[in-house]
Amino acid sequence: MAAHYYTVTWDQLHRDARALAWRLIEKGPFAGIVAVARGGLIPAAIVARELECRLVESVSVVTYEEELRGSPVVSKPPTAAGDGTDFLIIDDLVDTGLTAGAVRALLPKAHFAVVYAKPAGRPSIDTFVTEVSQDTWILFPWDSEPQFVAPLGKRRLG
């Protein structure tokens, strides 16, 4: 279980993805974007809009079977991106770098950018917006829903 949780709202994700696009403007122009499915699909759409990039490809990498982490398996390669020359890879998060390594092997010449980065995965990517600690679990808006939380005074602490 994670020691810390970081909740990302739809508004925050949009702001952070736009901040990522701002950092990437000077590194382009890019011929296209490869979104790492599934988490990178929404940030990639936002970045594509901001960079006025119309070619958006995807790559699907499976690293979990049920709740067990395994070796990454590419279930859908990004064929339109070739070796990645002039392409931008977008994902929501780099954690351990396992998925990023698999994608980087397919697209060695692409620029890899993520919205959120953990220390263990940072060497696998080129650009990010926000760093979070390795023991933080990010709660993305597509994985959670708003719900009532009791006031601190009504909870028993420790």
Active site residues: 91-92, 95
Q: Could you tell me which of 136, 140, 131, 120 has the C-alpha nearest to residue 4?
A: 136
Beta strand 136-139 pairing with 4-7: parallel
Alpha-carbon 13 to chain mean position: 11
**Between the CA of residue 122 and those of 6, 13, 86, 90, 94, what are the distances in Å?**
18, 19, 21, 14, 7
Cα 47 to Cα 24: distance, rounded to the nearest angstrom: 9
Strand partners of residue 138:
6
At residue 72, what are phi and psi to the nearest 5 degrees?
Answer: -65, 135
Cα 158 to Cα 156: distance, rounded to the nearest angstrom: 6
113 three-class SS: strand
